């Protein structure tokens, strides 16, 4: 990742916008799973403006990496004031545009945000393309970091008796 992009991501997450659950949201969309590390949930609130239903504000929560946080932060600002149709017409590239072009390995983060937005705005819409088959990956550092918090992991702690 270029230092320039890294700096823009740092700038975005230093003062992230619209983070957290929205209690009175009109719609909620989720993609991924917190258990596998790539989860993004988006809450959307609508309002009437000039006779049109537009997005009043959107918030998000993610357990993805910092690029996903940065993209979600700028995307929630971009979609405010747009109609559902206008927001749905935006690609992951559009939603991450304020950060500049993402390297190939980070495009997934923008797609995560796009997926959550589509899930929130058109939850019943058919996907535009079949979901790709899951590709087995090597264990990541993120997996190791979260290994102990897995709900399946139950351990019994047996304290050792100190030597006399």
Partner 1 sequence: MSLTTSLDPQIPMRELLRLYPGAQRALFRRYHIGGCASCGFQPEETLAGVCARNNALPVGEVIDHILTSHDQDQKMQIAPVELAAALKDDAGTKLVDIRTREEFDAVHIEGAIFFTQELMQEILMKWDRRALIAVIDHHGARSMDAAAYFAGHGFEQVKSLRGGIDAWSQEVDASLPRYDLE
Question: What value does the CA radius of gyration of the chain take, rounded to a whole number of Å?
Answer: 19
Q: Which two three-digit tokens encode residue 154? A: 């139950």
Residue 125 CB, shortest distance to partner 1, in Å, is 25
**101 lies in the binding site for partner 1 (CB under 8 A):** no
By CB under 8 A, the residues from 123 to 162 that bind partner 1 are 135-138, 140-142, 144-149, 153-160, 162
By CB under 8 A, the residues from 65 to 94 that bind partner 1 are 65-69
Q: 91-125: b or e for each residue (b if 16 or more CB lie within 10 Å)?
A: ebeebbbebeebeeebbebbbbbbbbbbbbbeeee
65 is catalytic: no
- 42 close to 117: Cβ distance less than 8 angstroms: yes
**164 lies in the binding site for partner 1 (CB under 8 A):** no
71, 109, 110, 112: the catalytic one is 109
**55 lies in the binding site for partner 1 (CB under 8 A):** no
**Chain CA centroid to CA 71, Å:** 8
109 is catalytic: yes
Residue 122 CB, shortest distance to partner 1, in Å, is 24
13, 36, 107, 122: the catalytic one is 36
Please name the residues in contact with 139: beta carbons below 8 A apart, sequence gap of 6 or more: none
Strand ordering across the sheet containing 52-62 = 27-33, 38-49, 52-62
* Nearer CB in complex with partner 1: 35/85: 35
Find, among 126, 64, 115, the residue nearest to 92 by Cα: 115
**52 lies in the binding site for partner 1 (CB under 8 A):** no
- Binding residues (CB under 8 A) for partner 1: these are 1, 6, 10, 13-14, 16, 19, 34, 36-38, 61-69, 103-106, 108-109, 112, 135-138, 140-142, 144-149, 153-160, 162
Catalytic residues: 36, 109
């Amino acid at each position: 990742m270029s230092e320039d992009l890294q700096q823009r991501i740092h700038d975005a997450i230093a003062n992230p916008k619209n983070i957290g659950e929205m209690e009175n949201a009109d719609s909620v969309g989720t993609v991924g799973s917190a258990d596998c590390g790539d989860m993004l949930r988006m809450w959307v609130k609508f309002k009437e403006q000039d006779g049109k239903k537009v997005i009043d504000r959107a918030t998000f929560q993610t357990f993805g990496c910092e690029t996903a946080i940065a993209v979600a932060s700028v995307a929630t600002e971009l979609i405010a004031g747009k109609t559902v149709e206008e927001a749905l017409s935006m690609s992951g590239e559009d939603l991450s545009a304020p950060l500049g072009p993402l390297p190939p390995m980070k495009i997934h983060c923008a797609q995560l945000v796009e997926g959550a937005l589509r899930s929130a705005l058109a939850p019943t819409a058919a996907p535009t393309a079949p979901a790709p088959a899951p590709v087995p990956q090597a264990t990541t550092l993120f997996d190791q970091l979260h290994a102990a918090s897995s709900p399946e992991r139950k351990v019994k702690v047996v304290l050792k008796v100190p030597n006399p």
